[in-house]
Structure 1
């Protein structure tokens, strides 16, 4: 009876449900660097790399360093009619609050600073135990929160919005980009790489393997 249950559990551990059409797909024989798509609707399912956890941790540390730098220096400097204004990244939300838009200030601060920082913390909380090979008690909860937060990550949306705004502002005032802007660009790249490298399906497989060992 135990042998039958173990075979069923192993079989279920290699199946993934397509988020596009709910088809169950067996990913047992995924090669190194392979990418799996749903055979029915073509929706992306998973990508396998044996060093994915180490890669994600490296990208995460790089993103954390870039985010700290982005919060410590000037984001941009605007000058017009002899007046010059320098703004830092946290001040993007603070200025919205001062101009009577607290709801928008909370959303901007949350989506560009708080949620990305929380996501980086969760990636580290997952990757460090998996790299060291021990079952930390927070692994399952951290993975659940992380893959929920990924749906609300808008780092690249904010960056695109800033670039569009800078193009319009450059026609009305002199705009100089600070170190913080380029640091946030680097953060966006490393953050996206960290999230995309830590594949959901294989991350859960690694968590299950660590807990059963």
Structure 2
């Protein structure tokens, strides 16, 4: 594709809802462009979001490591002391005959969020150097499909409810992983608000420079 053709592609946006093609608009802070035909969001103002996402992804990976390597809570009851980790919770569910639930927890709180963070890191690092990484299109599509499946916040809510119930019958000591899960939930909320389609705009912008 010639440079002029790529520049023309970069200045149009295609509606994901009805495939209508529009000229890209210059958006201001807080503005969102929607398709006048079907109402689907076309794009929104991101400012310098792409420069902020990479540090947040790195912070998210750090919080993810802390959340999974350290105990969430420690429970002391009747002279017995035990520490609860995410991996331990998944193993306990499996041993109690709830293998399907264990697999769901493993996928939605560990595998899918980790995949999202690693794909984002892989995509973000080369783009400022005007390089599109290998498998770019495929990974952007995977990232888009993973968006509804990360449920760290649901797991965190369940943990908080369980802690509140346990405090009436046992001594509960908060572990470092709980704080890491809170931070990870906040970071993922901000990170995943950066729509995967923005990678296409970034890639074409770098290609036309």
CA distance in 1, matches of 2:207, 2:52: 21
The worse-fitting range, judged by mean Cα deviation, of 44-53 and 143-152 is: 44-53
CA distance in 1, matches of 2:32, 2:97: 48
Residue in 1 that maps onto 2:13: 14
Query: Residue 126 of structure 2 is aligned with which of 122, 129, 134?
Result: 129
CA distance in 2, matches of 1:174, 1:37: 52
Q: Answer yes or no: is the 8 Å Cα contact 1:156–1:188 preserved in 2.
A: yes
CA distance in 2, matches of 1:134, 1:6: 15
TM alignment of 1:55-134, pairs within 5 A? 55-134=52-131
3-state SS of 1:74 partner: coil
**Structure 1: unaligned runs, 5 residues or longer:** none
1:4-51 CA distances to partner (integer Å, 9 max, x unpaired)? Answer: 97797456x323335xxx484846223353431537676655322242
Query: Residue 192 of structure 1 is aligned with which of 174, 189, 209?
Result: 189
- Check if 1:208 corresponds to 2:204: yes
CA distance in 1, matches of 2:113, 2:6: 38
The worse-fitting range, judged by mean Cα deviation, of 99-108 and 111-120 is: 99-108
TM alignment of 1:39-54, pairs within 5 A? 44-54=41-51
3-state SS of 2:169 partner: coil
Cα drift, residue 211 of structure 1: 5.0
Q: Answer yes or no: is the 8 Å Cα contact 1:56–1:195 preserved in 2.
A: no
**How many aligned positions are there?**
207
Cα drift, residue 106 of structure 1: 1.2
Query: Residue 38 of structure 1 is aligned with which of 31, 34, 39?
Result: 34
CA distance in 2, matches of 1:34, 1:27: 19
CA distance in 1, matches of 2:199, 2:61: 21
Structure 1 runs (4+) greater than 6 angstroms displaced: 4-8
TM alignment of 1:151-162, pairs within 5 A? 151-162=148-159
Query: Residue 174 of structure 1 is aligned with which of 152, 171, 176?
Result: 171
CA distance in 2, matches of 1:10, 1:55: 22
Structure 1 length-normalised TM: 0.83
